[in-house]
Amino acid sequence: MRGMKDQAIVCNIGHFDNEIQMEALDESDAVKTNIKPQVDKYTFPGGNEIFMLAEGRLVNLGCATGHPSFVMSNSFANQTLAQIDLWKNKGKYENKVYLLSKELDEEVARLHLEKIGAKLTVLSKEQADYIGVDVTGPFKPAHYRY
Amino acid sequence: MSEDYKVADISLAEFGRKEIDIAQHEMPGLMAIRDKYAAEQPLKDVRIMGSLHMTIQTAVLIETLVALGAKVRWCSCNIFSTQDHAAAAIAATGVPVFAWKGESLEEYWWCTERALNFGDGQGPELIVDDGGDATLLIHKGYQLENGDRSFVDSEGGSLEEGVIKDLLKNLNEKQPQRWHGVVADWHGVSEETTTGVHRLYQMVEAGELLIPAINVNDSVTKSKFDNLYGCRESLLDGIKRATDVMIAGKVGVVCGYGDVGKGCAQALKGMGAQVIVSEVDPICALQATMEGFRVMPVEDSLGIGDIYVTTTGNKDIITPRSHAWHERSGHRL
Ligand SMILES: NC(=O)c1ccc[n+]([C@@H]2O[C@H](COP(=O)([O-])OP(=O)(O)OC[C@H]3O[C@@H](n4cnc5c(N)ncnc54)[C@H](O)[C@@H]3O)[C@@H](O)[C@H]2O)c1
């Protein structure tokens, strides 16, 4: 950070605050000035100043309000289906990490299309047979990467 | 008896409710699930604890779980991420919430413990985790009760680790079987984010995971949307609210070019910044070049970069002093 341009802005959007060495910065010879909540200026002895956002914690949730609702509806639909799945299958799963099925993944996407005015094309039986999928999906093999 | 919640200001509940109502219109997936399952009540009386940013959007998730029959307790998974009006609105419905914007580390872990405590020694039957802190606390507590003090007695670690160790040692003195009781009733966790999922796979590898887990992050409709398109919008929202800086004409340096990094780089580019990417994975580095971004180690961008964003889920990406820079520039450390 010492070598950064004067007035550079530094932030993290990864989950934990260890991507930027905050403890080391706070113990360094840089002088910290609070500008407002979640915005601090650090001045290095040479005079260089940098701005640190949200104390190195995820900036989109620390300095703003996180993602918009529409995208979180996708994430949280998955969360809700996962909770239902865990409860329905309690006692059946091993202590391992599982993924939700591709059927549920496609279902979550489907639930969001109408709202934004997207209309799906429907496969004919002949087309479905030709590419080797069911007319109602899943439309991709497990190894497909999107 | 004091109220079974702790929020910044319960009088913000009305404002929170107005924003929750607006958000519902933008959350068709959650609302459709409510419609589909409300009658069936698939989560009837299930004790669910959540450790996930207490925002307006999360309020809609919580109310969906409640609509499906669950008994919910909640805390945030970050000290700064709570929206106080969202927390107030949820607390006002009788769902115990322990979250406010600007918790100390001690308060944060106190909130996590409170959200895990359903009374009468009961813990949750299911957990919604984001980053794995709730899962971590239970597992480390369980280990300690088994007589394994390797974590709580270990030296070093971050300030935050110290706080967790103190909390666990205190609890262990008062309730030496607390976590065994919790684990006996615990049937699973669904994990929201890349970093939390990474922790879960490490626990499986070490043979330590005590419950089944669902990796929500790697649903395509999660990581290829939230991590990518979500960050594409909320990164600049955060930077702008914090600094009001003009993005156009600046040089943005994005460390890591996974799903989150791709969204961040696109956002900066879209607003007219030049973008530099740092990566360790040759595939992701090549992807970045194909989008027209320069790829270089973060040290090489010193003196060029105006805005630095770390997106790696790794540690020590940006340090107070950069050895490489000092070597090249001939400055003394
Ligand atoms: N703030 C948010 O809203 C939000 C949303 C989703 C995910 N996340 C978090 O963001 C982080 C990244 O998630 P992701 O899904 O993009 O993960 P990812 O694995 O897809 O991407 C991370 C990238 O960083 C690269 N990397 C690792 N070490 C590096 C280093 N030293 N230098 C440069 N690059 C390096 C990896 O090669 C990888 O390509 C995680 O911590 C995740 O939990 C945050």
Per-residue pLDDT reduced to its tens digit, B5-38: 999 999 999 999 999 999 999 999 999 999 999 9
Residue labelled with tokens 């580390």: B105
Q: How far, in Å, from the CA of B67 to the mean position of ligand 1?
A: 34
CA distance readout (Å), A118 to A61, A109, A115, A139, B321: 30, 11, 8, 17, 50
ipTM confidence score = 0.97
Dump pLDDT digits (tens) for A76-114.
999 999 999 999 999 999 999 999 999 999 999 999 999
Among A5, A25, A87, select the one facing B46 at the smallest CB separation: A87
Q: State whether the Cα torsion B83-B86-B90-B91 is positive or negative.
A: positive
Please indicate whether, in this complex, the C-beta atoms of A66 and B55 are within 8 angstroms of each other.
Answer: yes
**Antiparallel, parallel or unpaired: β B126-129 and A39-43:** unpaired
Cite the DSSP H helix spans in B84-158.
84-92, 105-115, 133-145
Residue B61 has which token pair? Answer: 């998730």
Cβ partners under 8 Å of residue B329, min gap 6 = A3
Share of chain B above pLDDT 70, in %: 96
The residues, ordered by sequence, that sit 6+ positions from A98 with a Cβ below 8 Å of its Cβ are: B212, B213, B214, B215
pLDDT given at position B321: 79
Each residue's pLDDT, cut to its tens digit, for chain A (146 residues) gives: 999 999 999 999 999 999 999 999 999 999 999 999 999 999 999 999 999 999 999 999 999 999 999 999 999 999 999 999 999 999 999 999 999 999 999 999 999 999 999 999 999 999 999 999 999 999 999 999 99
Six token digits for residue B47: 């004790």
> Scanning every residue of chain A, which has its alpha carbon at the shortest distance from the alpha carbon of B207?
A95
Whole-number pLDDT of residue B327: 45
Distance from CA of A100 to the nearest CA of B (A): 7
Which residues on A lie below 8 Å from B246 (Cβ)? Answer: none
Q: What is the pLDDT of residue B322?
A: 55
Which residues have CB under 8 Å from B160's CB, separation 6+?
B105
Establish whether residue B288 lines the binding site of ligand 1, counting it when its CB lies within 6 angstroms of any ligand atom.
Answer: no
Which segments in chain B show pLDDT lower than 50? 1, 323-333
Q: Name residues 8-67 of chain A within 8 A of B (Cβ).
A: 8-16, 18-21, 23-25, 28, 30, 37-39, 51, 53-55, 57-67
**pLDDT for res B121:** 87
Report angle CA A29, A57, B306 to the nearest 5 degrees.
65
Residue B332 confidence (pLDDT): 37
Q: Could you give the CA distance from residue A19 to residue B96 in angstroms, rounded to a whole number? A: 32
Choose among A38, A86, A94: nearest Cβ to B242.
A38
Output the pTM of the full model. 0.96
Closest Cα in chain A, distance from residue B1 (Å): 32
